[in-house]
Amino acid sequence: MSESALSVPGFAELDDGSAMAYRKAVLLGRFVREEIATSLGTDTATVAGIEQVLSALSLLRPMPGEPDLLVAVSPDAAATDLVGATESHIRELQQAVTDVRTQMRSLLPAYFESRQQRNQTEAIDVISDLSVLQAMLDECGERCRTEVLSAQPGGSRPSPLLTNARRKTLERLERGVRIRHLYQHTVRRDLATTSYVRAVTSSGAEVRTTDELIDRIVVYDREVAFLPEQHVVGRRPGAVVVREPTLVAFVCKVYDHLWAGATQFSADAEDTPEVTDDLKRSIVKLMAQGYKDELVARRLGMSVRTCRRYISQIMLDVEAHSRFQAGVKVAQTGLLDPG
């Protein structure tokens, strides 16, 4: 097959020879095997195969009243003959999809009203199915009117997740919803997170970081809170959905307390010295409590390698030769003092 051959799934293949034969038939006003064979410099057997291809593509049709005489047909007419029925079927399917969506949307008021009544009787739900959980998060995000609070412990998040989150966050900000994000300090060195923060803060979102976070928290309109499912073995944890007003208010107070002690994250600004001191203070405190490097790294949302680099830097800064000596010297500097 030549490089310029045209192949469409379910249809015959139009190659250079077939195209040349078609042009010759247009010039002659008819398809004559012998003349076209001479023009192409080939034999009539080859031209007979070309005739079958052009006929299969509806580019040749019998002359009315002379079924043995084939004439060339315009490409537009041939295309209509080939795909007209398929296009009509596609339009019918598109209309059917539109009808189904319209019918489903007509049920939305009844669904939301019933959900609101159900929420009043079901203060807490445990959602273990992750697909159901994601659908609930998306629904709450679409319905929220005033505010979304989120706390995301750990280090950087996968870039595809941040891309999807960016789209949703910008859409909510455009609706006038206030967005507040809490991360740990370690995300300040992640390029994907920095790019996300730059995009959403430029549209009005607020982002702060802190040394440690209790766990993941998502709250919509201070009415519904999503908290991580606990004590899960053998599968990924789902979430506990809290609607009881007193419990939601308590979660919001915890969040506000964390927010008040956190540091503003501006993606276009360099890290402040306070962030570095916070990390050092947190590392030394956890070391003093006897935590291994792996657990210190997990609590602070960083890799073990990064954690060990920080520990080495702390020992170097205070001119210590052992971790115990580093702890004593850090305490003498006042780095562990409150405030």
Condensed to tens digits (0 to 9), the pLDDT of residues 158-212 reads: 888 899 999 999 999 999 999 999 998 878 878 889 999 999 999 999 999 887 7
pLDDT of residue 122: 66
Residue with tokens 């030394």: 284
End-to-end CA distance of the chain: 77
Within 13 Å, how many C-alpha atoms sit on residue 271's CB side?
A: 17
Measured CA to CA, the distance from residue 229 to residue 234 in angstroms comes to: 13
DSSP 187: G
- What number is the average pLDDT over the span 230-258? 91
Q: What is the pTM of this model?
A: 0.53
Residue 250, pLDDT > 50, answer yes
pLDDT reported for residue 3: 41
| Size of the chain, expressed as the number of residues it contains | 339
Amino acid at 207: V
Cα gap 251→222, rounded to integer Å: 9
The rounded mean pLDDT for the chain is 82
Q: Are 208 and 265 in contact (CB under 8 A)?
A: yes
Write down the residue that tokens 């030549």 correspond to: 2
Do the beta carbons of residue 140 and residue 224 sit within 8 Å? yes
The model's confidence at residue 108, banded by pLDDT at 50, 70 and 90, is confident
Asked if residues 239 and 229 have their Cβ atoms less than 8 Å apart, the reply is: yes
Stretch (H or E) spanning 164: helix 159-174
Q: Would you state the pLDDT for residue 1?
A: 41
125 in Cβ contact with 241 (< 8 Å)? yes
Q: How far apart are CA 202 and CA 175, in angstroms?
A: 15
